[in-house]
Amino acid sequence: MSYSLNSTISEFTVDQAPFENENLTPFEALRRVRMTELERLQKMNSEKGNEENDNKINTTKADILAGRMKLLLSTAKFADAHFLVGQNDKKQLVLAHRAILSASSDVFEAMFQKEATENANGKIASSEKDGPVLIPDVDAEAFKVMLRFIYSDDLSELNGQNAAEVLYAALKFNVIGLVKACADFPIPKLTNVFAALSFARFNDLLKDFVQRCLAYIDKNADDLLKSEEFLQIDQNLLCEIFGPENRRTMLDPALYKIRFPLISKEEFTKKIVPSDVLSKDEVIAVYQFHSLPNCRGICDGLLPMQFSTNGRISDRKKGTLLMDIEKVSEFAREDFESRRYSEKVYINGLSWKILAQIKTKNGSSDNKKWLGFSLVCDAPEEDLFWNSCYRSATFRIVSQKSGAMNSIGTLTDRVFYKMQTKEGFPNFISFAELLDPSNGFYNKEEDKVKLAIDVITVDEPKVDNLILDKSKSKGALFMDIEKVSEFSREVIGSERKSETVHIKGFPWKIWAKIEKKNENTDNEKFFGFYLLCNVKDWFWRCFVRSATFRIVSQKNGAENSTGTLCDHVFNKSTGWGFENFISFAELMDPANGFYDKNEDKVTLTIDVITVDEPKMDKLILDQPKSNATISMEIEKVSEFAREIIGSKRKSKTVHIKGFPWKILAQIEKNNESTDNGKFFGFYLSCDAPKGARNWSCKCSAILRIVSKKNGVSDFRREFDDNVFDSKVNNCCWGYPNFISFAELIDTSNGFYDKSEDNVTLAIDFTVKEAKTEDFGHFCVFRSFSAIFGNLHKKMEK
């Protein structure tokens, strides 16, 4: 029979090829294979044994019992127990006698008795008879030492190198005498005291041996804790070695490397204090650190802090956070704002977590639940001054269905600090979609969803480094969006950003974002295209005269998709651009020429022209003057007409009654029209500075497209006594559909000069009932803000 304590006979395999042509049954072939291997091992063992006997053992009959038993073991005569001991290339066939083993060990007795009973009842297959007993978890040499003890009480082969393995074999087969002999072995002579302790710690007969091992480890900790054997021990044994009674003694030097003050007060109270690993004074010092954050290291009367209070220092800039949301069906039924957090992961010296949250969609009146998916920087509450910046974070709901894709969203260039510890997607996916098995995100059997965030962090740029060449007022930004097909499948709000270009001393970036058109009821995605001034300081402003946005054509003969914005003020967290520049369907249609399918990329550019912002005192001019005419020539009208909806042109400023006035021309779409025809929007704009309030005036105006053809009158429209004020929608009045572009550039109408490719606009207007006193107040406020901003920067330094 083949009998194994910890494995199956399948581990014992040899080549069956020699018997392929003998038409044997599978059982007969297997038995023949195993007997052939057994004969080979017996022959090899016999040859080895004969060599040893020639050198060591006198094969003549011994006069004493011990000698006779040694002779019986060494010659293996009449052996009826075959053991294949060890693993892999260290396997050895060991022969012994069942009667002798049964008399010495109840484990052997039970093994052989079970075999005899099953054999008598016909339960053992013929293929398993005469096979060796497999013992893969015992060292072959240690097994032989055990047999020598069983046969003749011989311990001459027991030594420091094999004592731990012999102890394991003796415990496994319950050879009590050998267990006691191993327990009496001198501890200092053991080459692996940790292995011996691991084998012995659960046996009542070896309590004294265990204590001697622990005492020896305590005494020789400096050397033993550096050994390779120490690295192999399991967690439970490690905890036993570092028990409360010896933990401080053994760990004293290393203990001061632990940042106890950075552990939360709750965790410190629940876990560290009861362990008694710290002295009373050390515990008080930690509590003082938590309770008096303003007196750290500078107040008299406090106990000295001997533990590091610095944040974790790590060169690791990348990491992945993983989280399984268990019992998702129950989580989905919880109230809004219910939360789940992942375990902490340390990246770039700070701890990070995944936050899953039940949210409602902003502006939605229904009770539909959404999964909020965020990255949280879990810095200690006591740390007031910290920040961390990540280059990108890719949020993933991991597919659990073969062939289904992950749901992905990406955010870039976010700064975390004390007041901003969370960034993510408040409406990543609806719970209805999440729990729909067809989407592949939800494992219904395990009732589980898997989340992941891949984080790449960078050190935040210093503000000083942003103030570079201030004389450079123009610049161009470029960006290739790689893997556009993957980007287009990400969730609403996902983004990409370009590298930084410095213009006018400020850092500028292209910002591409997946948007949804507000009035759209379907799931069509749009490409948001923005210019971003990426300054994280609070007090700054930059005035952009114009920014021309282009998706570059990658097809011969196809035109770029272009949009232009004029006269925008950028300040903290401000990005200006086009929320629905183009739909992703149009962007990725090869016929349009913007998308390179082979390279799977799109190329973006923005040309930026900045100017010094007009000073407040220059805005309050010509108070008596109440009427004026503004004129403006739009150059390259044919190109302007091909730009996207929302593109603009503005005139220079004219000051009347203390207000700055401009012409605004904008490409519009007639909402009542079903075609894609573009219209020419024509407005009078009061460019009062953003932030100025409580100003107002009445204005009457005649808006004219000047005729360039003799005998043709100007095309004109007018409004009378319209109120301009600080409200968002009341600073610009005019006509969104003044004239269609088709009519505008039709040369027969006389407004368009094809040879010069221009159109001339004019507005005659009169300002009444002007209220400008708040401009002065705002000027004072701006001056104070600038002073305070400089002071704030100095304080940061």
Closest CA to 90 of 124, 140, 143, 39: 140
Average pLDDT over residues 485-490: 93
Domains 9-137 and 318-458 share a fold: no
pLDDT per residue over 542-559, tens digit each?
Answer: 778 889 999 999 888 888
What span, in angstroms and rounded, lies between the C-alpha atoms of 342 and 321? Answer: 8
Q: Which CATH architecture has domain 9-137?
A: 2-Layer Sandwich (3.30)
- pLDDT band at residue 317, thresholds of 50, 70 and 90? confident
Site of tokens 């400089």: 790
Site of tokens 């399918």: 597
Range in 404-418, 509-523, 544-558, 701-715 with the lowest mean pLDDT: 509-523
- pLDDT band at residue 276, thresholds of 50, 70 and 90? confident
Residue 244 pLDDT exceeds 60: no
C-alpha count within 13 angstroms, C-beta hemisphere, residue 183:
19
Residue 434 pLDDT exceeds 60: yes
Q: Enumerate the β-bridge partners of residue 569.
A: 543
Instruction: Name the CA radius of gyration of the chain, rounded.
Output: 42
What was the pLDDT predicted at 189?
A: 87
Q: Which amino acid type is present at position 679?
A: F
What was the pLDDT predicted at 227?
A: 73
Output the average pLDDT for the chain: 79
**Contacts with 392 (C-beta within 8 Å, 6 or more apart), sequence order:** 410, 411, 412, 413, 455, 456
What span, in angstroms and rounded, lies between the C-alpha atoms of 152 and 149? Answer: 5
Could you give the residue ranges of the DSSP H alpha helices within 320-434? 328-332, 431-434
Q: Which is higher by pLDDT, 466 or 256?
A: 256
Could you give the residue ranges of the DSSP H alpha helices within 326-474? 328-332, 431-434
Asked if 426 and 359 touch (Cβ cutoff 8 Å), the reply is yes
Residue 611 pLDDT exceeds 90: no
Domain ranges of the chain: 9-137, 256-295, 318-458, 461-613, 616-797
pLDDT per residue over 164-199, tens digit each?
Answer: 899 999 999 999 999 999 989 898 888 888 888 888
Asked if 325 and 452 touch (Cβ cutoff 8 Å), the reply is no
Average pLDDT over residues 663-674: 81
Tokens for 500, please give them: 């930084």
What span, in angstroms and rounded, lies between the C-alpha atoms of 134 and 151? Answer: 21
Site of tokens 């500078």: 298
What span, in angstroms and rounded, lies between the C-alpha atoms of 264 and 728? Answer: 47
Residue 534 pLDDT exceeds 60: yes
In the CATH hierarchy, which fold is given to the domain comprising 616-797?
2.60.210
Tokens for 185, please give them: 């072995």
What span, in angstroms and rounded, lies between the C-alpha atoms of 748 and 751? Answer: 8
| Domain 461-613 top-level CATH class | mainly beta
What was the pLDDT predicted at 142?
A: 93
Range in 163-177, 286-300, 536-550, 580-594 with the lowest mean pLDDT: 286-300
CATH 2.130.10.10 corresponds to the domain 318-458: no
Pairing of strands 133-135, 81-85: parallel
Average pLDDT over residues 381-389: 57
How far is CA 431 from each of CA 94, 353, 361, rounded to the nearest angstrom? 64, 21, 12
Site of tokens 């200092």: 188
What span, in angstroms and rounded, lies between the C-alpha atoms of 342 and 359? Answer: 18
